[in-house]
Amino acid sequence: MNTPTRFSAEQIAEFRQNGFLLVEDVLSAEEVAAIGERGDQIANGQAEYVPESSVQLEPVFRHGERVVEDRALAVRKLYNLAVYDPVMWAHATNAKIVDIIAALLGSEDLKMYGDQFFMKAPETGTAQPWHQDSASWRDIFPMDLVTAWAAIDDATLDNGCLHFAPGTHRWGMMRGAQSAPFIADLDSGQWPSVSVPLKAGSISFHHSLTLHQSGANHSSLRRRGYAVHYMRASSWKDETVTDAPKMPPFKQVRGHSIPGRV
């Protein structure tokens, strides 16, 4: 395993400049297999402790346009898993990942905002348009969260790997008409974007304001990825924001909780 327990100043500077960073070979083959197997079990309804509300089908199955024959291949994503499942929680608290998060956020006091397991099956796996995570998580301040997106299968251009728009985390939060001109520039190639193929076991880290997207799965191969979202325990939740996602209680990942904060 060649992942450093402490990041260099150059790596931290790269993340702060671009808003994303790739770290290869973070997870062992055994860790990847355990997460992938548990994700499939949850998708197949074999983990009764995970509520059905944590499972979302792809639109063609959700709207009845196609019949579900293999549930694991019909699921678009699973979410809020680690608060229920010990295998997913072990991943969220894995020191190899949390050490990197602590370096990027500059704090040992960390909480998990939430998590999402993206299934992206062959042929039916849909694209995710350009977006900023904090445009949804707009009740959490500062808007300075970090996502660790772990590849469970090899993520390629054909099966829908992530793409990032470097530096866009420094533009602030944008919604609707505010972001539309920049998304048009990204779609037309006038603003640079970077594709980030990942080998299984590698992880990309991105800032919650970095514009990113993923393509549809046009291949015959699955593209599963498990994303865990982290924030400082000193973050503040604005209870007056009523149109943000309703999340389970935030779990402590490392360090101390801070009274009056998340």
Mean pLDDT, contiguous 10-residue spans, the chain (262 residues): 60 97 97 98 97 97 95 97 98 97 97 98 96 98 98 98 98 95 94 97 98 98 98 98 96 97 98
pLDDT of residue 7: 72
pLDDT of residue 260: 96
Residue 240 identity: T
The two tokens of residue 17 are 């400049």
Q: Output the CA torsion sign for 180, 188, 127, 19.
A: negative
Place of tokens 């639109």: 59
Q: Distance between alpha carbon 167 and the CA centroid of its chain, in Å? A: 18
Place of tokens 């019909």: 74
Q: Measuring CA to CA, which residue among 91, 80, 93, 83 is closest to residue 36?
A: 91
Q: Distance between alpha carbon 183 and the CA centroid of its chain, in Å? A: 20
Q: What is the distance between the alpha carbons of residues 235 and 110, in angstroms, rounded to a whole number?
A: 9
Q: What is the distance between the alpha carbons of residues 134 and 145, in angstroms, rounded to a whole number?
A: 8
pLDDT of residue 261: 98
SS3 20: strand
Q: What is the distance between the alpha carbons of residues 35 and 41, in angstroms, rounded to a whole number?
A: 10
pLDDT of residue 167: 97
204: left (phi over 0), alpha (psi -120 to 50) or beta: beta
pLDDT of residue 6: 57
Q: What is the distance between the alpha carbons of residues 17 and 242, in angstroms, rounded to a whole number?
A: 32
